[in-house]
Chains A and B, each alone.
Chain A
Amino acid sequence: MSGLLEIRDASKSFGGVQAVTRVSLEAQKGEILSVIGPNGAGKTTVLNMISGFYHPDSGRISLEGRDVTELAPSRIAELGVARTFQNIALFRGMTVLDNLMLGRHVHMKTGVLSACAYWGLAQKEEVVHRRRVEDIIDFLRIQDLRRRPTGSLPYGLQKRVELGRALALDPKVLLLDEPMGGCNHEEKEDMARFILDVNEEWGVTVILIEHDMGVVMDISDRVAVLDMGQKIAEGTPDEVRANPRVIKAYLGETKAVPSTGGSRV
């Protein structure tokens, strides 16, 4: 079998800092692949290379067998890769609805002329895509927030809306950078449920960066561990949990790999 998304020996340094060193990852179609590791391990940098914000110094990235290493972020999005950010990148002045409609951008075609005229093609397109956006609003249970500017929402809901905007792209691959960071227990449970549903019902492949080990071990098909820019382990949650190198890497941070429990979803 070959991966939907493949990263081969990717390296990236910033000035003197070697952020990522020869990392290879492969996300199979339909799986949830989690990437864990201490702060500064290079997780976000890996996502940034996939989304095209950084291009690796060496190594390749391919999507469905196609080389996407040097493509710009907007091209990567067009090819079906959606993304959320560690510190939320919503359009804060816009409503939830507009944020999600923007998520449909790559699927819409209206050009300047038909937009200015509006009636006819542009209106029809707006309605079609509004339907899809309403599905997502229902799925995420944010019906009462449609007209709210996203900047005014509590943090946990902003994370949810950002997930919604990513889903509006109808992605093949969904990259989530700490979607539960800063959320309370209940919000984490909701988010985990959404991720599982998106994965199981819509067949979206998910690459998840998350610090909450309980959630990671529960919902992931496979887990890869980064430490100091290198991949030190990869496997099923159980394999990774038992891996001595992982335990050692985490000893510096949290004493031991937390076991599953408590946060079952």
Chain B
Amino acid sequence: MIHRECGVLKTTYEADMGLYPLPIAKWTVAALGVLFVVVIPLSLHEYYLSVANLVWIAVIGALGLNILVGYTGQVSIGHGAFMSVGAYTAANLANRLGSPWPVNLLAGGLMAALIGAIVGIPSLRIKGLYLAIATLAGQLIIEWTINHVTFISGGVQASIEVARPRLGPMVLSSQRDMYYFLLVFVVLGIAGTMNLMRTRVGRAFIAIRDHDIAAEIIGINIFRYKLLAFAISSFYAGVTGVLYTYFLGIANYEQFQIGVSIDYLAMIIIGGLGSVLGSIFGAIFVTLLPIVIRYAMEAFGGIFFAPQTVLNLIPNLRLMLFGALIIFFLIVEPEGLNRLWRNIRSYFRVWPFAY
């Protein structure tokens, strides 16, 4: 993250392969820890904490999609649907069996992983746009199924209420409780992704993305690893769906429609494909953008437009900005916000020696 690497020499392979190879980076992590564990949750108002919670949920989902799209190079427009699989699995378990949230969370993730792997089967034969269409079909089929099979959807308006998660005797009811609850999974999600990507399985994913023939020749079973990428990515999606359901207190398929799949693609494209930090940036950006737009329009829109026009503009402005940003990042800066960040950082990296 923020660090300088002048004069650092590593003497063991363990140290050389550490996640934070520079000692100063540990301080950065500690500072971020204080910021996110103490400063933000204790100083922000409930409303802002609920926004932070939406960001946390998005971070986990974006990490998952980036594992599949950014790291393994397999396009998917089904991420929203995989979230709904997790959401409805958990909601059904919670309501029918009264099982506790850890069980529901795990089951939601695993069920999504299974469905995700099945939707990923065509990836053996098709790539790019065709795979995008195939996963889109998966999205629509899952949406339809949840909406129409009352055993899954719970019937009325295809939504199922769930009780707030409990920790022992404590019910996590405030936004601050949820903040800490979600933060745990964000940290696990980030650490899991970073560790995955620096070991055998993650390297195999990147190898498949970069050169599938070379990947085969060194013994990587492409089909198995593509399905594995779909499964892991969908596991993240499923967990995201479960967390979102606990956050809202209700599982509702409208929260996981195709637009959500597109939003998540926007996050990783804008943030940076194949990058953990990029997933985080993208999740923050895409979650905050509509809120910022609304505030800006409410504050200044009246200067230029009639009040009714302002209300109509807000949702459309969001779409237009997304579209423009996706095109900008795809064409001008394929590595996304993460790259812009790295450019800034590399300037300070060897500071004060400018070379």
Whole-angstrom CA separation of A134 from B2 in the bound complex: 29
Confirm or deny: A209 has a beta carbon within 8 angstroms of a beta carbon on chain B. Answer: no
Distance in angstroms from A100 CB to nearest chain B CB is 10
Q: Verify B213–A122 contact, CB threshold 8 A.
A: no
Stretch at the interface among A108-116, A242-250, A253-261: A108-116
Confirm or deny: B9 has a beta carbon within 8 angstroms of a beta carbon on chain A. Answer: no
A126 with B204, Cβ < 8 A, contacts A89-B213, A103-B218, A118-B199 known: no
Give the chain A neighbours of B203 by CB distance below 8 A.
Answer: 98, 101-102, 105
A74 with B221, Cβ < 8 A, contacts A90-B211, A115-B202, A130-B17 known: yes
Distance in angstroms from B2 CB to nearest chain A CB is 21
Give the chain B neighbours of A91 by CB distance below 8 A.
Answer: 206-207, 210-211, 214
- CB nearest to B213 among chain A residues: A89
Confirm or deny: B220 has a beta carbon within 8 angstroms of a beta carbon on chain A. Answer: yes
Confirm or deny: A78 has a beta carbon within 8 angstroms of a beta carbon on chain B. Answer: yes
Give the chain B neighbours of A182 by CB distance below 8 A.
Answer: none
- CB nearest to B274 among chain A residues: A93
Distance in angstroms from A46 CB to nearest chain B CB is 15
Q: Verify B214–A111 contact, CB threshold 8 A.
A: no
Q: Verify B196–A112 contact, CB threshold 8 A.
A: yes
Q: Verify A77–B196 contact, CB threshold 8 A.
A: no
Complex interface residues of chain B between 195 and 246 (CB less than 8 A to chain A)? 195-196, 198-204, 206-207, 210-211, 213-222, 228, 232
Give the chain B neighbours of A73 by CB distance below 8 A.
Answer: 216-217
Whole-angstrom CA separation of A94 from B198 in the bound complex: 12
Q: Verify B218–A102 contact, CB threshold 8 A.
A: yes
Whole-angstrom CA separation of A115 from B216 in the bound complex: 21
CB contact between A106 and one of B16, B201, B219 (< 8 Å): that residue: B219
Q: For A77, A78, A110, A116, which residue has the most chain B Cβ atoms within 10 angstroms?
A: A116
A111 with B13, Cβ < 8 A, contacts A89-B217, A91-B211 known: no
A105 with B210, Cβ < 8 A, contacts A73-B216, A116-B195 known: no
Whole-angstrom CA separation of A78 from B220 in the bound complex: 9
- CB nearest to A106 among chain B residues: B219
Q: Verify B195–A115 contact, CB threshold 8 A.
A: yes
CB contact between A105 and one of B191, B204, B211 (< 8 Å): that residue: B204
Q: Verify A115–B199 contact, CB threshold 8 A.
A: yes
B interface list, Cβ under 8 A from A: 13-14, 16-17, 191-193, 195-196, 198-204, 206-207, 210-211, 213-222, 228, 232
Distance in angstroms from A146 CB to nearest chain B CB is 9
- CB nearest to B17 among chain A residues: A126
Distance in angstroms from B88 CB to nearest chain A CB is 24
Apart from A72-B221, A108-B200, A110-B200, list 11 A-B contacts with CB within 8 A.
Answer: A74-B220, A98-B203, A112-B201, A112-B228, A115-B196, A115-B199, A116-B193, A118-B191, A118-B195, A118-B199, A131-B13
Distance in angstroms from B117 CB to nearest chain A CB is 12
Give the chain B neighbours of A92 by CB distance below 8 A.
Answer: 210-211
Distance in angstroms from B346 CB to nearest chain A CB is 15
Confirm or deny: A44 has a beta carbon within 8 angstroms of a beta carbon on chain B. Answer: no
Confirm or deny: A127 has a beta carbon within 8 angstroms of a beta carbon on chain B. Answer: yes
Can you give 29 A-B contacts (C-beta < 8 A)? A53-B213, A72-B216, A73-B216, A78-B219, A82-B218, A89-B211, A89-B213, A89-B217, A90-B214, A91-B206, A91-B214, A92-B210, A98-B203, A98-B206, A102-B215, A102-B218, A102-B220, A103-B218, A108-B200, A112-B228, A115-B199, A115-B200, A116-B191, A118-B195, A122-B199, A125-B199, A126-B17, A126-B199, A127-B13
Give the chain A neighbours of B214 by CB distance below 8 A.
Answer: 85, 89-91
Confirm or deny: A13 has a beta carbon within 8 angstroms of a beta carbon on chain B. Answer: no
Whole-angstrom CA separation of A89 from B216 in the bound complex: 11
CB contact between B218 and one of A106, A110, A127 (< 8 Å): that residue: A106
Q: For B16, B200, B201, which residue has the most chain A Cβ atoms within 10 angstroms?
A: B200
Confirm or deny: A117 has a beta carbon within 8 angstroms of a beta carbon on chain B. Answer: yes
- CB nearest to A123 among chain B residues: B14
Distance in angstroms from B268 CB to nearest chain A CB is 17
- CB nearest to B224 among chain A residues: A74
Whole-angstrom CA separation of A78 from B16 in the bound complex: 28
Whole-angstrom CA separation of A117 from B207 in the bound complex: 21
Q: Verify B202–A83 contact, CB threshold 8 A.
A: no
Q: Verify B17–A116 contact, CB threshold 8 A.
A: no
Whole-angstrom CA separation of A78 from B217 in the bound complex: 9
Distance in angstroms from B185 CB to nearest chain A CB is 13
Distance in angstroms from A91 CB to nearest chain B CB is 4
Give the chain A neighbours of B13 by CB distance below 8 A.
Answer: 126-127, 130-131, 134
Whole-angstrom CA separation of A94 from B202 in the bound complex: 13
Complex interface residues of chain A between 35 and 87 (CB less than 8 A to chain B)? 51, 53, 72-74, 77-78, 82-83, 85
Distance in angstroms from B156 CB to nearest chain A CB is 38
Q: Verify A74–B14 contact, CB threshold 8 A.
A: no
Q: Verify A165–B218 contact, CB threshold 8 A.
A: yes
Q: Verify A110–B199 contact, CB threshold 8 A.
A: yes
Give the chain A neighbours of B16 by CB distance below 8 A.
Answer: 130
Q: Verify B211–A116 contact, CB threshold 8 A.
A: no
Whole-angstrom CA separation of A1 from B14 in the bound complex: 46
Give the chain A neighbours of B218 by CB distance below 8 A.
Answer: 77, 82, 102-103, 105-106, 165, 169
